[in-house]
Amino acid sequence: MLPPQSKDNSIFSPQSCLNFYSNFDDLIDDEDIRDVQATLVSEFPFLSINRFLGSFKPELDSDEKLDYWLLQLADLNIEARQIEWKNLSHSSQEKLRSNFTLTKNLSQYLSECSALLLAELSEDDKQRVISSAKVTDDYSTAQRFFGVYPLTSLFVSRQINKHQELAKKSFEKSLSEIPVKGRLVRYSMSSANRSDKIEFDRKNPLNIPVVDDETLDQLFIQHAPIIEVDEEDGNDVIGKIGLDDKGYPKFLNEQSVFYVLPSYTRFNDEVLLQLNYVFWFSSRPKKSTFDIYSGRLDGLIWRVTLDSSGEPIVYDSVHNCGCYHKFFLTDRILFNEDAAFQEREPPFVAQKNLIFKAGSQLVLRVGSVAHFLNRVYVADSLGETKNIDIKAYENLRSLNWGGKRRSMFASDGLVKGTARAERWLLWPMGVPSAGAMRQWGHHAVAFVGKRYFDDSHLLDKYFTIKP
pLDDT recorded at residue 167: 94
121 and 147 within one domain: no
Domain shared by 152 and 206, yes or no = yes
pLDDT over 70 for what percent of the chain? 95
Greatest alpha-carbon pair distance for the chain in Å reads 76
pLDDT band at 11 (very low <50, low <70, confident <90, very high): low
Residue from 363, 330, 368 nearest 349 by CA = 330
pLDDT (0 to 100) of residue 358 = 64
Whether residue 5 is contained in a domain is answered as no
CA atoms of 308 and 299, how far apart (whole Å): 29
Q: Find the helix packing angle between 90-99 and 14-31, rounded to 10°.
A: 160
pLDDT band at 50 (very low <50, low <70, confident <90, very high): very high
Do 129 and 68 meet the contact criterion of CB atoms below 8 Å apart?
Answer: no
Residue range 173-210, pLDDT digits in tens: 999 999 999 999 999 986 645 555 677 888 999 999 99
On whether both 159 and 261 belong to a single domain, the answer is yes
User: In this structure, are residues 40 and 412 in contact, taking their beta carbons and an 8 Å threshold?
Assistant: no
One domain, residues 318 and 445 = yes
68 and 188 share a domain? no
On whether both 298 and 184 belong to a single domain, the answer is yes
Specify the pLDDT at position 245. 93
pLDDT band at 25 (very low <50, low <70, confident <90, very high): very high
Tell me which H or E stretch contains 97. helix 90-99
Which helix (H) or strand (E) element contains residue 391? Answer: strand 389-392
DSSP state of 444: B
Give the mean model confidence (pLDDT) for residues 145-156. Answer: 97
For range 117-131, the mean pLDDT: 97
pLDDT for residue 198: 76
Residue in 175, 172, 195, 201 with CA at minimum distance from that of residue 349: 172
Using one digit for the tens of pLDDT, what is the confidence trace for 51-95?
999 999 999 999 999 999 999 999 999 999 999 999 999 999 999
- Write out pLDDT tens, residues 297-347: 999 999 999 999 899 999 999 999 999 999 999 999 999 998 888 899 999
DSSP 353-366: EE-PPTT-EEEEEE
Contact (CB, 8 A) for 249 and 243:
yes
pLDDT reading at 3 higher than 60: no
8 A C-beta contact, residue 55 and residue 264? no
Number of domains in the chain: 2
Same domain flag for 159 and 82: no
Q: Which of 437, 423, 421 is nearest to 292 (CA)?
A: 421
DSSP 103-154: -S-HHHHHHHHHHHHHHT--HHHHHHHHHH--PPPSS-HHHHHHTTHHHHHH
* Nearest-angstrom CA–CA distance, 214 and 195: 13
Say yes or no: 145 and 127 in one domain: no
Report the mean per-residue pLDDT for the chain.
92
Residues 6+ apart with CB under 8 A from 26: none
Three-state SS at 266: strand
Distance in angstroms (rounded) separating the CA atoms of residues 252 and 242? 7
- Residue 47 belongs to a domain: yes
* Domain end among 88, 107, 132: 132
Q: Are 189 and 217 in contact (CB under 8 A)?
A: no
User: Is 8 part of a structural domain of the chain?
Assistant: no
28 pLDDT above the threshold of 90: yes
| Range with lowest mean pLDDT among 61-70, 92-101, 257-266 | 92-101
pLDDT digits (tens, 9 = 90+) for 407-448: 999 999 999 999 999 999 999 999 999 999 999 999 999 999
Assess whether 125 and 146 both reside in one domain: no
The answer to the question of residue 2 being in a domain is: no
Please tell me whether residues 270 and 411 are part of one structural domain.
Answer: yes
- Identify the pLDDT of residue 197: 67
- Give the structural domain span for 399: 141-465
Long-range contacts of 422-426 (CB under 8 A, 24+ apart): 422/292, 422/293, 425/292, 426/156
Amino acid of residue 457: H
What is the tens place of the pLDDT at every residue in 285-311? 999 989 999 999 999 999 999 999 899
| CA atoms of 250 and 457, how far apart (whole Å) | 34
pLDDT tops 90 at residue 160: yes
- Strand 386-387 relative to strand 226-231, pairing: unpaired
256 within a domain of the structure (yes/no)? yes
B/e letters for 178-216, b = 16+ CB within 10 Å, e = fewer, are eeeeeeebbbbbeeeeeeeebebeeebbbebbebeeebb
Same domain, 366 and 279: yes
Could you tell me if residue 161 is inside a domain? yes
The answer as to whether 4 is a domain residue is no
Q: Give yes or no: residues 93 and 48 share one domain.
A: yes
Q: Is residue 51 a contact partner of residue 456, using CB atoms and an 8 Å limit?
A: yes
